[in-house]
Structure 1
């Protein structure tokens, strides 16, 4: 298994499962993960490795029974060459946006008066994480630029 930095939330061998019916998701059911952090809808954002294939910024969703679900979409299954019933090695690390703000965002904030970056750094961790996720979730570079400009506007007020 590839090496990933940080203490794993989950590490082991798991079997791909599939919900019944047409269009049923393929997933890995994971045990409950305890954490002190409050998360919307109980989601946990993770990065990691599945059978030597790295991925980032995937949300684990609650299954309603206390366990979590790691969805394995068709594109990833194709790369893995695996389907429901097959076993995979999985290692998950919790994403930590509070500690890892992309350099492009920091550089844009540094081009503004120093108090704009101070305002960003002074945001509560959850708000800072949401701001970074919003920028990173842009569909293209133009949208990313627009979102960074919007963030700077909000921080400038």
Structure 2
């Protein structure tokens, strides 16, 4: 199940990077476009001056996301660098689903279950993705046990575990 949430609804100024072929973009304050993660691209849908768009935000600096605005969009809305555009962007928020077998195992360890319950959804998703990244049921069971052990000690999954796809 998913829900739609407006994360940006404001007037922003179009800017152009200097130099030949410089991008035209809008700075989106990170406080208005907080999707629960602090890194990477944000894929969104919405409108620019009423024109439907699908776009990606990427980090510009600590305060702003960089939203490229294609020439096609600028032409359709009759805007260029220096003009203001009305930006309305939505992120589709996926409801987290913890697989039943992992949930049952977690409930056997109250400390691990409580810690898991308090994690943000993106951290929970990392555990789920890592455990079920393999079709080998024995490896899934091993990963569940490792995850529960880490959760009971209030530890996060190390990046090397996530990137290698195997227990540390």
TM-score bucket of the superposed structures, by smaller chain: 0.5 to 0.7
Secondary structure of the structure 2 residue equivalent to 1:22: coil
Give the whole-Å Cα distance in 2 for the aligned partners of 1:35 and 1:12: 16
1:114-138 deviation line (CA, Å, top 9, x unaligned): xxxxxxxxxx5896xxxxxxxxxxx
TM-score, scaled to structure 1: 0.53
What is the rounded CA distance, in whole Å, between the counterparts of 2:72 and 2:35 in structure 1? Answer: 30
Gaps of at least 5 residues in structure 1 are 100-123, 128-157
Larger-Rg structure: 2
Tell me which stretches of 4 or more aligned residues in structure 1 moved more than 4 Å.
Answer: 124-127
In terms of fraction of residues, the more strand-rich structure is 2
1:36 partnered with 2:36: yes
The TM-score, its normalising length taken from structure 2, stands at 0.50
Note the C-alpha offset of 1:8.
1.4
Alignment of 1:40-119 (within 5 A): 41-56=39-54, 58-96=55-93, 98=94
Match of 2:22?
A: 24
CA distance in 1, matches of 2:41, 2:37: 11
Secondary structure of residue in 2 paired with 1:82? coil
Query: How many angstroms apart in 2 are the aligned matches of 1:35 and 1:85?
Result: 27
Instruction: State the Cα distance separating 1:95 from its structure 2 match.
Output: 3.2
C-alpha RMSD of matched pairs (Å) = 2.4
